[in-house]
Structure 1
Amino acid sequence: MSTESEVGELLRRRGWRAAFTVAGRVEAWAALVDSVERGYHDDVYEYTNDLYCRNWLHEAWLLLDEHIVQLWTPQIRAVDDRYRAATVYDDGQALDRFHRLPGPDLWWWRRHPRLLTGDLGRSLRSAGAVGTDDDE
């Protein structure tokens, strides 16, 4: 187990573009969920890129000291719950048309926004996603 800065640097060496922090990735995850709740307006490729903030947290959790995990887990679970409420489970069928799905333990890749708006909504609907259409 390691400190937050050690884990950030280790993950950067493994291919992440920066030595991220837990706080920064939790903030990015919460910002994405805020956007999904309101209606995500960027395209599907930006959306899949944005999902990686949650991937980073998943990877970091396997490496971080237990006290850091215990400190942040309630906040991450709360954001996860908001994401589940704002999305529809489709086992990743819609997103898989645009991005190779990671393993099944990365559950957030197997859901898509309930509110299908903008470019993302058009792309996901073209891939068979069903949700609420708020473009009108």
Structure 2
Amino acid sequence: MEPQDDPAAGEVLHGRGWRKAFTVTEMVDQWASLVGTVENGYEDFIDEYTNNLYSRNWLHEAWVLLPGHVLVAWNQRIQELDNRFRAATAFDDGQALSQFHWISRFDPDDMWWWRRHPRILVGDLGRALRSAGAIDAPSDP
């Protein structure tokens, strides 16, 4: 059984400019999909990758809007996905991504996912990031 959703948060964020009133379930699923793809080698275009990163932005923005029981229900799953993303990516303080997407507006502490790139650089994304100075990174011990 999936943890609970709160449609009010999605409505508020839709009113702030998100293209629709997403649910927590939808955005956790999108974040999980991106994490899994990054772990296996993200081959799509840089614009698609940065678009996919916004699923984590949505969760970040929704967090302050969600009631406590919803936060408790989802917190462990999101932390697990965040940990997997950190393990599958390398920190470069956003140097490579900033060549393609304006990331300076994202708080470096709160929106840490914008300051990392996949460790495995393959396909179109890999070529783009390498052109911006990214290198394949070994896994952390």
Range of TM-score over shorter length? over 0.9
Match of 1:45 in 2: 47
Match of 1:110 in 2: 115
RMSD over aligned Cα atoms: 0.9
Cα deviation code 1:30-76 (max 9, x no counterpart): 00011101110111110000000000000000111011011100000
> Stretches of 4+ moved more than 3 A in 1?
none
**Which residues in structure 2 correspond to 1:1-136 (within 5 Å)?**
4-101=6-103, 102-104=106-108, 105-131=110-136
Q: Distance in 2 between matches of 1:127 and 1:4?
A: 40
Q: Secondary structure at the match of 1:116?
A: coil
Q: Distance in 1 between matches of 2:61 and 2:6?
A: 12
1:130 CA displacement? 1.1
Cα deviation code 1:78-98 (max 9, x no counterpart): 000000000000000000000
Identity of aligned residues (%): 58
User: What is the TM-score normalised by the length of structure 1?
Assistant: 0.93
Cα deviation code 1:74-125 (max 9, x no counterpart): 0000000000000000000000000011221200000000000000000000
The residue identity in structure 2 corresponding to 1:33 is: V
Q: Distance in 1 between matches of 2:92 and 2:18?
A: 28
User: What is the TM-score normalised by the length of structure 2?
Assistant: 0.90
Q: Distance in 2 between matches of 1:123 and 1:12?
A: 31
Q: Distance in 2 between matches of 1:21 and 1:131?
A: 34
Q: Distance in 2 between matches of 1:46 and 1:122?
A: 14
Q: Secondary structure at the match of 2:20?
A: coil
